[in-house]
Amino acid sequence: MTTDHAFPAVRMYIAGEWCEGGTGATAPLVDPATEEPIGTVPLAAPADLDRALAAAEEGFRVWRATPVARRTAILHAAADLIAERAPAIARVMTREQGKPLAEAAGEARRTAGTLRWHADDARRAYGRIIPAEPGTVLTVRREPIGPVAAFVPWNFPVGGPNRKISSALSAGCSIVVKASEETPATAMELVRCYADAGLPPGVLNLVLGEPAEVSAHLIASPVTRLIAFTGSVPVGKLLAAEAGKVMKPSLMELGGHAPVIVCADADPVHAARKAAQAKFANAGQVCTSPSRFLVHESLVEEFTAEFVKAAEAVTTGNGLTEGTTMGPLANARRLEAMQRLVADAVARGAKVLTGGERLDRPGYFFPPTVLTDVPPDAEVLHEEPFGPLAPIVPFDGLDEALALANSLPYGLAAYGFTRSAATAEKLSDALEAGILSLNHCGGSVHEAPSGGVKDSGYGREGGPEALDAYLVTKRVSHLLVP
């Protein structure tokens, strides 16, 4: 196998040092736009994981004792480096994940903002004094939980790891991050920003390896005090169960199947444009991506026409090429899933208005695809597509739409379009989701919490709630002795 010498050599980061795996084993790293190898990924041996855990244990001791003002200064310096290096980070991200350069650079810049928010919020992790009997001082303190084991996917190669890292470090914890073997170099460049900002050795460790082996090792270790995971529902349930066996708390940000309800009084053109823009961002590979379009029957024709127009305006290509607005899917698995879901829907009577087939070129390219006449039993209405598929389903009454929206075991994101304040309030009250956007399909923001209900997980990332999982509450009752 040849490697791309312009691409950074992938390494792990343990105890303040860049290193390869102890076994020498590697996995191939492939550019999804060309299907060509661009490097290799070192795979951790158990001894590497033990070194990372030992480093995190010592790093926690050092970092916890570091004054919050000093911690905040280091984290702000890291944010400055992330913002400064955003163009370079974006190029690495595009090579290994596929998203267009502009999209990748925007992700890196947002990551810097998230880090700044969390670093400043650490100064507001207040305890409290409770009125008590004379001679007694009763206080509540918020303290870092300890070393964290975090597992992150490939769809947001810098934003995903940073949500865990920034929260953990802001709270005073150390962390071992297991990044995706499909996007390791982006995670490496993110960690490099923290290291170059002066983070003490051991506070942040990056490992790579066979997912099941790494997760089992890190979760079982007595060093680890919290499990933080972003990924699929099945894997999340497995990791949560393993954490439960050793009585460790976990933070689970899992998948969804986000409904979009376009009410009878909505502007169908506005709704279609906003929904399509969100649908095809990151090629639909977003946990909160709108993925079931429930449109009032009086608007469905106009909405569909505008949505198809927006889909056909997308320029699909290599993310490094100027003018590309949607890159390839990240891997062959997603490509196969798109083909399977479309074939199933068509076999059950659905119509493909645009797209529907893999593009005839190298790379994992699948075009924006719009489906209509989708029957209720089609797999695409029950399985999170995690790709650029848009099934459009008409409805008659709002109660029917809400029942359809809430019928699945997922509850991460939901979207609604209406001009009525009363209808907006009904949507806000009735939709079973941890994230709801009305009259737009905006993504996560660092100043507000994100997270799911039902099978979509528990715990929140973003906003003041972001540090909750990384802090423990301690009650101290102090009887004053003369």
Question: Can you tell me the distance from the alpha carbon of 210 to that of 67, in angstroms, rounded to the nearest whole number?
Answer: 37
pLDDT digits (tens, 9 = 90+) for 230-242: 999 999 999 999 9
pLDDT band at 22 (very low <50, low <70, confident <90, very high): confident
17 among known catalytic residues: no
pLDDT digits (tens, 9 = 90+) for 378-390: 999 999 999 999 9
Residue 173, Cα to own-chain centre: how many angstroms? Answer: 20
Q: Which residue in this structure is represented by tokens 């802090």?
A: 471
Instruction: Map residue 41 onto helix, strand or coil.
Output: strand
Given its phi and psi angles, is residue 58 left (phi above 0), alpha (psi -120 to 50 degrees) or beta? Answer: alpha
Question: What b/e readout covers 26-41, taking b as 16+ CB neighbours within 10 angstroms?
Answer: bbebbbbbbeeebbbb
Instruction: Map residue 392 onto helix, strand or coil.
Output: strand
pLDDT digits (tens, 9 = 90+) for 66-81: 999 999 999 999 999 9
Closest CA to 248 of 150, 335, 156: 150
Instruction: Map residue 316 onto helix, strand or coil.
Output: strand
Look at the domain 258-446 and name its fold. Aldehyde Dehydrogenase; Chain A, domain 2 (3.40.309)
Question: Can you tell me the distance from the alpha carbon of 175 to that of 164, in angstroms, rounded to the nearest whole number?
Answer: 9
Over range 386-413, report the average pLDDT: 98
Alpha helical stretches, state H, 98-148? 101-121
Catalytic residue among 107, 287, 306, 432: 287
pLDDT band at 5 (very low <50, low <70, confident <90, very high): low
Per the structure block, which two tokens stand in for 245?
């066996």
Residue 4 pLDDT: 58
pLDDT digits (tens, 9 = 90+) for 84-122: 999 999 999 999 999 999 999 999 999 999 999 999 999
Residue 382 pLDDT: 98
Contact 13, 208 (CB under 8 A): no
Instruction: Map residue 465 onto helix, strand or coil.
Output: helix
Question: Can you tell me the distance from the alpha carbon of 233 to that of 252, in angstroms, rounded to the nearest whole number?
Answer: 9
pLDDT digits (tens, 9 = 90+) for 152-176: 999 999 999 999 999 999 999 999 9
What count of other Cβ atoms lies within 10 Å of the Cβ of residue 255? 24
226-230 and 351-354 strand pairing = unpaired
Contact 202, 52 (CB under 8 A): no
State pTM to two decimals. Answer: 0.95
441 among known catalytic residues: no
Choose between 5 and 118: higher pLDDT. Answer: 118
Q: What are phi and psi of 455, to 5 degrees?
A: -70, -5
| pLDDT at 404 > cutoff 70 | yes
Annotated domain spans of the chain: 12-254+456-475, 258-446
Catalytic residue among 253, 306, 384, 461: 253
Residue 1 pLDDT: 39
pLDDT band at 60 (very low <50, low <70, confident <90, very high): very high
Question: Can you tell me the distance from the alpha carbon of 144 to that of 422, in angstroms, rounded to the nearest whole number?
Answer: 43
250-253 and 457-458 strand pairing = antiparallel
| pLDDT at 207 > cutoff 90 | yes
Q: Which CATH class is domain 12-254+456-475?
A: alpha beta
Per the document, the length of the chain is 482
Q: Which residue in this structure is represented by tokens 């995971």?
A: 229
Per the structure block, which two tokens stand in for 308?
């198809």
Burial (0-12, 13-18, 19+ Cβ within 10 Å), 262: buried
- Residue 304 parent element (H or E): helix 300-312
Residue 2 pLDDT: 43
Question: Can you tell me the distance from the alpha carbon of 207 to that of 305, in angstroms, rounded to the nearest whole number?
Answer: 47
What count of other Cβ atoms lies within 10 Å of the Cβ of residue 102? 14
Alpha helical stretches, state H, 197-267? 211-220, 233-245
Over range 117-139, report the average pLDDT: 94
- Residue 259 parent element (H or E): strand 258-262
pLDDT digits (tens, 9 = 90+) for 419-455: 999 999 999 999 999 999 999 998 889 999 999 999 9
Residue 241 pLDDT: 97
| pLDDT at 125 > cutoff 60 | yes
Contact 341, 379 (CB under 8 A): yes
DSSP bridge partners of 9: none
Residue 395's alpha-carbon distances to 85, 96, 260, 297, in angstroms, are: 47, 40, 12, 6
Mean of all residue pLDDT scores within the chain: 96
Closest CA to 224 of 66, 49, 468, 473: 49
